[in-house]
Structure 1
Amino acid sequence: MAKQLAVIGAGLMGSGIAQVSAVAGYDVVLRDVTPEATARGLAAIKASLQKFTAKGKIAAADAEAALGRITMTTDLGAAGEADIVVEAVFEDIEVKHSVFRELDKICKDDAVLGTNTSALPITQIAAVTGRPESVVGTHFFSPVPMMSLCELVRGYKTSDEALAAARAFAEEVGKTCIVVNRDVAGFVTTRLIAALTVEAVRLLETGVATAEDIDLACKLGFGHAMGPLATADLTGVDIMRNASRNIYNETHDSKFAAPELLNRMVSAGALGRKTGKGFYDYED
């Protein structure tokens, strides 16, 4: 199996993908644009592995070995030797286009280029490369070490070989895959959670129920582990807003239009756990 992996973006998703891959035996290059960002990513991986070790889910020696397989860098050129590349940068099409233009120049001819986008069309991302058949959606879920799903998305020109290689990789790092055969904005999972979250925000905005009761209804009524508003706080209110906006821009379906409350929260910097306040208060 392919053992050389490059992850582009050392944030919450990228560091999680790097962690599970290193634990599975991959040699991982984890790249971000500044030394500070790479340091934060490595610190997050160390903290996560320590929690798994404390709970007896991974041996201390295996956690240490996994850390030894991760190389941090600010050099995008380090992706040049990778068999699999997974991009996990900000959910903005221009940012992703910039990354993929460079990866197209840098990466091996037979490398599979994955994108961890949750809503942007794979075909649109792949269009800036000279190898759209090698680009495939590899949508992991947060927190990556805990969540078992990987949503694989076929772009208009994605080859069967690239899809099969991406599936083999995802399964090797412990994930169960679903395949999205039509490259629609939001795919399967983000369309479902965006529709639910947008409606939950509207219910909160119009005073129908509190955030706590809306989330409790989803947990007890539908068996969800977390309610949609708490989930938005975990992943980032801005990320949720951008995902729904991307789907709306593609489909013009009003059920994905971001409510005013969601836009105001993003403008005010109330982005959830990462800023200490979102739909809930985390400052304590």
Structure 2
Amino acid sequence: MSIFNEPKIDCHNHIFDPVRFPYRPDTHYRPSGQECGSAQLFMQVLDAYGVGHALVVGPNSGYDTDNRCLLDAIAQSGGRFKGIAVVENDCTLETLMSLQAQGIVGVAFNPAFLGVSYYTGTAPLLKMLQQLGMLLQVQVEKDQLPDLLPLLNESGVRILIDHCGRPEPRDGLSNPAFQALLTLGRSGRAWVKLSGLAKFSHEPHPHADTWPFIHELVRAFTLERCVWGSDWPYLRAPERVEYGPQLKLIEKLFPNTVDRNKLLWDTPRQLLGWASDT
């Protein structure tokens, strides 16, 4: 069976719809042109490639803590989408509960953009996420993870690491930050997205310099704690990115259909709470 005919969940993507939802005036970056994509367009992309569900991630670019576009996309999807929101560090329990009722399953931390120190003092927020059973999605890069780990380890919250932890391929597998990520994976309290290869690769598609990192992540986390994401619509992509070739790369890296079913369907479905028959 082709990967295009297998059940799939896309666990990392964004909606940029500035016509219906103008960007915040103070945004640091305003996605435009081919970087934009509405909820309706994204659902057509998913239909074209046989993808059943999507975890839509609220972006720092354009919208930051304005989650109206994200919530509208979830509402339009008829249960097909769930979301990861960006919130203020002093977000209240009532706000989190309201977001959860509208299909938000977690909150994003982005040290890769804001730095680790930005999240100092967020222990109360993490406690509330843990209390509500929500995820903490974390995007770090290069050597940032060890500095963030004390906060994560104390929180007890379920952790979802973005884009393979965005390691530096030239530093190799023995880099302490990547080894810390593998240790986190072996702890059994974190999941990782095998996504965003273009964000840390030094090579064009198919980004072969990232493959050893993917294989090590799968060994540490196991496929019970790995998910896949497209990163559609490819904000600030260094080269043209296409949805189909990304899926074919997953088919190459995971030639066993049982393994692909775990990565693309069973694990994300269980993690994010979709019923087995949807």
TM-score range, shorter chain: 0.3 to 0.5
Give the TM-score, by structure 2 length: 0.33
Q: Which structure has the highest helix share of the two?
A: 1
Give the TM-score, by structure 1 length: 0.33
Structure whose alpha-carbon radius of gyration is higher: 1
Comparing both chains, which one has the higher relative contact order based on Cα–Cα distances under 8 Å and sequence gaps of 6 or more?
Answer: 2
